[in-house]
Structure formats: structure tokens, C-alpha cells
Amino acid sequence: MLTLFLILYPAVAATLIFLIGGERIKQIALVAALVELALAGYAFFVFTPDATSQFGFDYPWISSLGIRLSAGIDGISVLLVLLTGLLVPFIVLSTFNRTYKQPATFYALMLFMQAALMGVFTARDGFLFYFFFEAALIPIYFLAAMWGGENRIPVTFKFFVYTIFGSLFMLLALVYLYFQTPATDVATHSSAIADFYKLKLTPEAQNWVFWAFFIAFAIKMPVFPFHTWQPDTYVEAPTPATMLLAGIMLKMGVYGLIRFILPIVPLGVETWGKTAIILAVIGIIYGAIIAIRQRDMKRLIAYSSFSHVGLMAAGVFSQTETGMQGALVQMLAHGINVVGLFFVADIIFSRTNTRQLDQLGGITQSTPKLTVYFLIILLGSVALPLTNGFIGEFLLLHGVFTYNHYLGLAAGFTIIFGAVYMLRMFQKSMFGPTSSRTESFADLTTSESWVFIPLIVLVFWIGIYPHTFLKVTEPAVANLMKYIGTTAVSMK
């Protein structure tokens, strides 16, 4: 039942915030998000590390069709449930020094999106997963369209069209899988994800189902060449919406690869997995090179996120335990780092009214707290040992290198290029002489500091003692990899 509360509570809180409103709406939204964090934290710390689904619920939805309201938390989803509960309070807190029109609607949409994301990461029914997958798009669309930049309407429309287009492919695959399940005494077919795992699809069917799912998830992550919506959307969306997109929402795509593609169509992965890894590696290098050329901080971070998610996708398709473990822990680490980086860009913009690196400089002279926090988050992003980014990237690169030495070597450039564009951004914005825009730059306020401090703690916690997080995913990952190997052999 805990899973039910994790999904329903933020939706109920969002509804109340929208209806009640009031002057202290920020504080109410923060308290609501903190309660959800407490629930997610409790689920994480009492979770039993094994291959079973826990804290679940299962109710009839459309009984005659075998479609159920079924959800639970397992070792594949537990870190993403934690991430979704963890980041939203800090995203809400990051807005305390900002004023947004229609604040009740603004914060209600954020909590509605959190509820949908919880549903995505816990759904055990294919159509319920699809419902939440689409439901998560609606709040972010309105957040970007109502509070975004000057070009928000065409950019948001492009984002909407891209994601709907990909989702239609996924719906087609889900409907096909549903009709392949055997009929029972009480229903014509079943949409349970566990029943999809039992299907013995022909190689031809697996190939097209692979591409139907892959296109949907590749757009959401995004993976090259399905990425063209991402940079403009990240830049035009208000920073809290960008944090939700980069910190949590893109993980739906990586999660989908693990939950659907690998166990359902192992022969499709065997045939097309290398192509997917090549596309991911191209995205790693392409995104990093474009990031090096950027002058806008927010756009630079957007391309860096595109590059990092390519490595996660490559690690998943390596079909190794280390690659899978790396993808799960890196999703957590990347969410923490990218939220911190976008917050830095937002702070700098709010004080200088620019994100252009050539108009900044000298900020470190008057901002000791911002300098230290920015540097730590940045070093986590470039995978410095003893930071959170190192653990995930090491495991991911190990998995890709095990799969193919040449692809692993190419993917390894992510660390070199990442250091180049991140340190370049830090140098140009923080060092050198001050400009007219930065000469009176103020250091962090108390609320801004309290966004960074927990993120910094997590950067070092994951980097120094990753066992806390790896131990909860290891049994489920081992079981999944064993199942994939056994199923692939039986299908040949």
C-alpha cells in the first residue's frame, strides 16, 4: 500500500494547493514535497534487497480485459522512486527567491508531475505504465508553455509532438503484446508486465517490437538522432521545469529500456542492440563536442545531459550486470548533479540577467559559498573519484568495454570532453576580471544554500560509500540478467 500513497499523495496535495492557493503557497508546496520525500526515503531504507516487488497494490481496472491497477517497488525501480521523492523538495525550495504568476497552478503542476513519475517507476501493468508515461507529459507541457521564455510556444509544441509521436509506437507495441498473451477464465488477455515477460515472440516480431519501444524511449531520454527537441526545450522552459525534465523525466526512457526492451525482446536486442549502442556513443561524443562550443550556460548543461544519458543507454544495452548497475546508480547521480548545475545557472541569471559566458567572470571574488558548491557539483558531473558521478560512469564504461572494446574506448571520451566543457564553463563564469554585470554579485541566500547542502552530501555519500545504493539493486539486476540470458537461449 505504500506505493499507492506515493502515487496518490502528491496528486491530492497538488489538487488542494490548486484549489486553496494563498500567500504562503511556496511553503505549503515545500512541506507537501518533504512529506513525499519522507515516504520515498522510508520505502528505500526498509526495502528488502531481493528480486521481488514490494509495498505494492493490485486492483481490478477493466477486469474483463485483464487490465489492472497494479504497482510496486522492486530493485530496478527503488532508486528512481527515491530520486523522484528526493529532487522535488529541492526544486520547490529553489524557487523561494523567484516570483511566478499563478503560483498555485505552478506548484500544483509540479506535484502532479511527481505523482505521474511515481506511477511510471512503479507500474506493474503495461497500460498503467503507458497512462502514467503520458500523464507525466501534461504538467511539463503547461509548465513550459505558461512560464517559459519568448520562444516557448513553438519549442513546447515541438517537444509535445516528438513525445506523442514516440508514445504512439509504444502503445502499438503494448497492444500487440497484450493480444499475444493467452486468455484466462476471467479475462480475454493480460496486460501485466510479468505476463509480457513470458511471451515467446518470433524473431521477426521481436525486431519490430524492439524498434517500437526503442523509438519511444530514445525520444524521451533522448538518444541521437531523436534529440533535437531537447536543447531548446531545456533552455526555454522555466528552470524548475528544466530540473524536472533533466533530473527525473529523462530517466523514464532509460528505465523503459530496462523494464521492457531487455526482458521482453532479447532476440531483438541481440540483433539491434549494437546499433543502439552505436547511436548512444555517437550521442555521447556529439553532445560533448556541441557542449564545448556553447556560450549559454543553460544550453551547455542541456547538451552535457544529452551526452551523459547516451552513456546510460549504452550501459544498458551492453547487457552486463556492471553496465546495468551503473545505469541505475548513474540515474540517481545524474539527477542530483544536473539539478545542482541548472540551479547555479538560474542563480547567475537572476543576478546578472544573462547566461552568456563571455558576459560573465570574476564571480568567485565575492561568492565563496557559491564557488565551493558549484565546484563540487561540477566535479561530480565530470566523474572525479570519490564523487557520485565516478561510480556510475566507471561501471557503465566497464560494461560497454566488456561488450566491445572499441565502443568502450569511444564512450570513454565522455570523461575527457566532460572535463573540458565543465571546467571551461567554470573558468569563464567564475574566474577572471569582473564585468559590469558581475561586479556587485551577491553570494547565496539561506534558502539557496539549503538547496545545495543536501545535494553536496549526496555527491560524497554516493561517491565514498556507494554500497548503500548498489546493494538494493544488485539482486534484482542479477535476476534480470539471468532471466534475459535464459530466455534468449530458449527462444533460439
pLDDT at 423 over 90: yes
- Give the model's pLDDT for residue 362: 86
pLDDT tens digits for 339-374?
999 999 999 998 898 898 888 888 988 889 999 999
pLDDT at 184 over 80: no
| Cis, peptide link before residue 203, omega less than 30° from 0 | no
pLDDT at 22 over 90: no
Quote the pTM value: 0.93
- Give the model's pLDDT for residue 287: 92
Residue 241 is placed in which grid cell? 521545469
Q: Work out the angle at residue 134's Cα, subtended by the Cα atoms of residues 335 and 27, and round it to the nearest 5 degrees.
A: 55
d(CA 261, CA 402): 20
- Give the model's pLDDT for residue 187: 64
pLDDT at 457 over 80: yes
- 322 or 437: which leads in pLDDT: 322
Portion of the chain with pLDDT greater than 70, in percent: 98
pLDDT confidence band for 186 (50 / 70 / 90) = low
pLDDT at 129 over 70: yes
pLDDT tens digits for 195-235?
898 888 888 999 999 999 999 999 988 898 888 888 888 88
Furthest CA-CA distance within the chain: 76
List, in sequence order, every residue forming a beta bridge with 356; answer none if it has no partner.
296
Q: Which domain holds residue 184?
A: 1-491
- Give the model's pLDDT for residue 488: 59
DSSP 323-389: HHHHHHHHHHHHHHHHHHHHHHHHHHHHHHS--BGGG---GGGS-HHHHHHHHHHHHHHTT-TTSHH
Q: Name the H helices within 69-221.
A: 78-93, 103-122, 126-135, 137-147, 152-180, 193-197, 203-220
- Please count the structural domains in the chain: 1
